[in-house]
Each structure stands twice: as structure tokens, then as C-alpha cells.
Structure 1
Amino acid sequence: MKKRVEVAAAVITRPDGRFLLGQRAPGTFYPGYWEFPGGKVEPGEDARAALVRELDEELGITAHTCWPWLMREHDYEHANVRLHFFEVPEWSGTVNDHVHSALEWQQADHLTVAPMLPANGPILKALQLPREMAITDAARLGLDAQLAAVDAALARGVRLIQVRDGTLPAEARAQLARAIVARAHAAGALVLINGDAALAEAVGADGVHLREDQLVGLSARPDFPWVGAACHSRASLESAAALGLDYAVLGHVLPTPSHPDRPAIGWDAFTHLVTHLSIPVFAIGGLDASHLREARAAGAHGIAAIRGSWSA
């Protein structure tokens, strides 16, 4: 039986969004492969504490902020490795590597180094996922006002839009989706269609967002570049992860007018539900862009919002 190794890994970022990768040195497992900095968690040691220690020892930097993000397991030849990924957006010191052959600052959608350690492929895709998901509300706003709000959101930097509005007539919803796809793609943004794979394909969307009832009993991931799901329990989150979905949305975290009779779960429960999950999770419910830092500190990839996205 292979031994289990716990590893803490860091997505160390600069203000321009680039992250640091290190090349494994000769004499180690997978020499020449690229990885996220970090190291082994010692018995009885907290993963976050291990990360801070390893970054000091390996790179000579002090990590001031470590946000829990994803946990991935990979079965290597020498061991079963469980990697606890943290985002480290705030750190100090001069990077001075002591263990790698080389270091490079990279961006997820334009990687210039290879090969990567096998466990890191899904991590690189997750880093391409924007941090704010704007969810349409055309039934309340009206079609013209919704499109104007989309233009404003794209102008302020939103790069992920979910077309919801399942109560609209089919032709009106298709018209809305086509218009949003055209606007979003011109701005380099992604568009997901809620619950309707046929419509997503017809309008050239980037993927589909599954309702929780669609997730139940699903045996294979839909064939789109981006697929996510709405979740309300740990079981549904684990189902989304097992299917290899790209993200989940969990909530509602704070009180919201769209669900006045359902109590909010709060940030503590959110953190508990997403801990050690292998896919990114957006927090939803009563949120807007001002909650992004709080959400990421709680283990969220980012925030998803209906009203909050269009009133910003």
C-alpha cells in the first residue's frame, strides 16, 4: 500500500495576476517538471502553517495572506499525494529560491513552461476561471435594461456571465442569450447557459450551468469547455467534483430577496461545506463585488450574484 503524503502548495500571485511556478531539481521525483511552490506537511502540523514555513524555507518570503482554495489528490508512483492549495496574494520579501532549478512567473491562459506535474492540470484551468459570475435578471429588469447592464458590467471587468431567466418565453431567452454571447465574446468574457445544453450549443455559449436537480443522477459531464452546477449540500458538491465539473455555486450565504423564506447559511457553514473540495466554488446569495475578499478568505473561488452584479 502506497504511503499518503500531505502537501501544502501555494498559488503565489503578483498584482498583475501572474503566479509563480518552480522547476523540480535533479535528484527529486519528476525532475524537470514544473510545480507550485510548497512542501510536505509534517505530522501534527496544520497545512496553512506548513505552507508559511515552506515558503520561508524555499523562497525566503513571508506569506501574510493564505486563502484556502482547492484540495487535489493524485496517485504518483511513489505515493498517494494530497495537495492542499492556498492562494497567497499578499507576501513580502525577495524571492530567492533554494530548492528549484528555475522559477518563472506565469499566467494560466498562456503557459510558457512545460511539463507540469500531472496533478496540476485542473489547477491551471481553475485559475482561468474569473472571480465574479454575473447572473442575468432580465425578467425583472427587462431585455433592453439587462443588455445595457451587461455592457456596463463588461466595461468594469466582469468576464463570466450566466444566462438564467428560465421564465422568459423561449424565443426571448434565445434572443437574449445570442446578444449576450456576442457582447461577451467581443470583450473576451465567458457565457454559460443555465440548464439548457441545446440553447448553449445553438447560441455558441462557452458552457452550461446545471441546476441541482439536473446534477442528480448525471453519469457523465456534458460536452462543453465549461460546466458548473448549483449546489446546496456537501453531497451535491462532491457529485459535481466526481463528474469533473469546472466549478460549483453554493449558497445562499447572506439573506437575499430572491429567497426570503430560506435562512442564509453564513460564511462558517460555507467554509465547512467547501473544505477539501477539489473544484472551485462560487459563493452566492446577498453578495456583490465588495464581498469578494471575504468570500475568498472563506474558501470561495469568487462570488456569483444576480442583483449585485447589475447594481455595481
Structure 2
Amino acid sequence: MKRVHVAAAVIRRADGRILLAKRADQQHQGGLWEFPGGKVEAGESVAMALHRELQEELGIAVTAARPLIKVQHDYPDKQVLLDVWEVSRFTGEPHGAEGQPLVWVSPRQLPDYDFPAANQPIVRAARLPAQYLITPDELERKELLQGIQTAVANGVRLIQLRAPNMYSPEYRDLAVDVVGLCAGKAQVMLKGPLEWLGDFPAAGWHLTAEQLRKYADKGRPFPAQRWLAASCHNAEELALARQMGVDFVTLSPLQPTQSHPEAVPLGWGAAAQLIDGLNLPVYLLGGVGAGDTERAWQLGAQGVAGIRAFWPSL
């Protein structure tokens, strides 16, 4: 069965809302909501197909777009490759040129809509930012909280509270403050024993590679409404992350780092190979900063993660 290559778009307007279209009942996966787009024709690039499809379906002309995620999915009757781009600027007012209903929704509302199974990784990618801040080690509590407050004010929307040198009670107390500080502004990802999960219902959880190896065969430790991530360093760990059903991963180290000088870096080429076919949002970590975001997108990554690169006082 030949895999159908589809160009799809996460169309985001200035207020952050995303455009969804409803599939006709007679279509494959009919009656479900989708991200607009269509089949890439012979001789077309993905960008060409995207421009053509959005002009035909919605009556808009794309003026700014970039790669977001690629998803391979096998239905019983069809195999698809969804080549998804984020459209940040366009001209014209979108309308259902083929009679399809349209709706603008906030990213946090996306899980409330019924999508084809192949669209689930796109829903996650559309809700995640391009940068993932990991907090530095060995800061005093006051300095750490001030830094997080400044980062959130500067637009950081995803934060991992990493404090490996703290005692458990210290970390738990700090986590309470950080989750409260970020409420409604940024998503906090905590680290620690899974026994703590029930104590922090508003937080997501970022698993270590060791936890991934230990728990992957048991599946997700909590429902899909809560963010679950994992630290990965090779193909085996990425496979475990998929098995466990995590929402996104960090892949490291991409390049040499000060924090882990002994680790062998993957390099951009190997990272691209590991991302290809993964069907998960991936943050590249290790020796990268905001200036590498564009290159990460071109490789198929969600963006970049870092400590020094995004911490306001370093």
C-alpha cells in the first residue's frame, strides 16, 4: 500500500488561535476535525502543495510558514505521511470554500475536539512552544524563583524544574511555589518519583531515561490531559518513549556541553535520523540556544531546550 503524502497546516492567527476544519461525512475519517491541507501532487514540493491547498480550501494566501512535525500513520485501509507546517501569516479571510465548517480554537481547547488518530501528534506539537527552559542547578531558592518569574514575563511557556542536588522535601516545597508562580502562564514539568504524581495535579512530569526504562512497559502513569515527557539519548530510549505514550521528548546531547563534558554528542545529522519517523515532538538539547531554533525546525524538531540559553541571569 502506497503511503499518501499530505501537506497539512496549523494556521495560527495573531491572538494564538488555531483554525480547524471539519471533514465531510463521506470522506475518509469523515465527521472529524482536522488541520486543513491536502495531497501533495506529483512534482510538487510540500510548500507548493500547502499554498495551493489552502488557496483552494480556504481562500487564503500563505505569506509565512515553517515545518512543524511529520507524522506517519497506518490506518487499516490507508497509510499517510502528514507533512505539517505552521502558518503564522496569510492574506485573505479563511472561509470553507468547499462547504466545510471552520472554527478558531485556543491551543488549550484542541484536546476537546475529535481528530483522526494520525492528528494526535499534531495536536501536541500545536500546543507546545518552540523553546523549553530547564532550570539551573545550585541556585538559592529566592534566586531560582526570581529567575522563573523573569523568564515567564519574557514569554517562556514551558519550564522543567530540575534540581538534582536537592533533598526530596526541599524539591517538593520548591515545586509547590513554582507551580503556583506559573499557574495560567507557563506549563511546569516536574521530576522525581512517580509516587509524587498525585500531589501535583497541575504539573506535567519529565521522566529520566532510567525511569523510562523502568516504567515504559506499564504505559502512561496518568491520563492524556496531563503532560508527560522523557529524556532520551538514543534510538532505544526513543522507542521506549513511544511505547509509554509520552507527549514529547528531549534528545541530547546534540553538541558538547559544559554540564556533561564526558557525553558523546549526537550531532545534527544523527539527530535528524532519530527524529525521522518518530511521530513525537522533539526538543534538541545540549549546546544549543535560541539561535538554533530555525535549524531544529528544518530537521523536524519541535525546537530547542536549554539551561544557560534561556535562563535570564546566565
Unaligned runs of 5+ in 2: none
Q: Secondary structure at the match of 1:307?
A: coil
The equivalent of 2:199 in structure 1 is 202
Q: How does 1:40-119 map to 2 (within 5 A)?
A: 40-42=39-41, 47-60=46-59, 61-62=61-62, 64-75=64-75, 78-92=77-91, 95=94, 97-111=96-110, 115-119=114-118
Preserved contact between residue 68 and residue 302 of structure 2 (Cα < 8 Å): no
Please say if 1:216 is aligned against 2:213. Answer: yes
Structure 1 residue 72, shift from structure 2 partner: 4.2
Q: Structure 1 CA distance, aligned partners of 2:68 and 2:187?
A: 25
Q: Structure 2 CA distance, aligned partners of 1:252 and 1:163?
A: 19
Classify 1:271/1:53 alpha carbon distance in 2 versus 1 (closer, same or farther; 3 Å).
Answer: farther
Preserved contact between residue 25 and residue 99 of structure 1 (Cα < 8 Å): no
Please say if 1:298 is aligned against 2:296. Answer: no
Cα displacement string for residues 125-158 of structure 1 (whole angstroms, at most 9, x for unaligned residues): 442233332212242x222211111111122222
Classify 1:162/1:116 alpha carbon distance in 2 versus 1 (closer, same or farther; 3 Å).
Answer: same
Q: Secondary structure at the match of 2:108?
A: coil
The equivalent of 2:33 in structure 1 is 34
Classify 1:258/1:22 alpha carbon distance in 2 versus 1 (closer, same or farther; 3 Å).
Answer: same
The equivalent of 1:157 in structure 2 is 155
Classify 1:92/1:268 alpha carbon distance in 2 versus 1 (closer, same or farther; 3 Å).
Answer: farther
Deviates more, 1:61-70 or 1:238-247: 61-70
Structure 1 residue 248, shift from structure 2 partner: 0.4
Q: Structure 2 CA distance, aligned partners of 1:222 and 1:161?
A: 20
Instruction: Name the TM-score, length of structure 2 as normaliser.
Output: 0.83
Structure 1 residue 56, shift from structure 2 partner: 4.1
Task: Kindly tell me the number of residue pairs found equivalent between the two proteins.
Answer: 308
Please say if 1:239 is aligned against 2:240. Answer: yes
Q: Secondary structure at the match of 2:66?
A: strand
Q: Structure 1 CA distance, aligned partners of 2:51 and 2:101?
A: 21
Deviates more, 1:241-250 or 1:217-226: 217-226
Unaligned runs of 5+ in 1: none
Q: Secondary structure at the match of 1:310?
A: coil
Deviates more, 1:34-43 or 1:172-181: 34-43
The equivalent of 1:180 in structure 2 is 178
Q: Structure 2 CA distance, aligned partners of 1:297 and 1:93?
A: 27
Preserved contact between residue 3 and residue 79 of structure 2 (Cα < 8 Å): yes
The equivalent of 1:250 in structure 2 is 251
Structure 1 residue 26, shift from structure 2 partner: 5.5
Deviates more, 1:265-274 or 1:246-255: 265-274
Deviates more, 1:60-69 or 1:189-198: 60-69
Q: Structure 2 CA distance, aligned partners of 1:48 and 1:240?
A: 30
Preserved contact between residue 63 and residue 92 of structure 1 (Cα < 8 Å): yes
Q: Percent identity?
A: 36
Structure 1 residue 255, shift from structure 2 partner: 3.4
Structure 1 residue 289, shift from structure 2 partner: 3.6
Q: Structure 2 CA distance, aligned partners of 1:260 and 1:21?
A: 45
Structure 1 residue 93, shift from structure 2 partner: 5.3
Q: Structure 2 CA distance, aligned partners of 1:83 and 1:142?
A: 46
Structure 1 residue 250, shift from structure 2 partner: 0.8
Q: Structure 1 CA distance, aligned partners of 2:227 and 2:30?
A: 32
Instruction: Name the TM-score, length of structure 1 as normaliser.
Output: 0.84
Cα displacement string for residues 58-97 of structure 1 (whole angstroms, at most 9, x for unaligned residues): 3452465331413141515x42334332323344555465
Q: Structure 2 CA distance, aligned partners of 1:45 and 1:279?
A: 26
Structure 1 residue 27, shift from structure 2 partner: 4.2
Structure 1 residue 182, shift from structure 2 partner: 1.8
Deviates more, 1:227-236 or 1:60-69: 60-69
Preserved contact between residue 138 and residue 146 of structure 1 (Cα < 8 Å): no
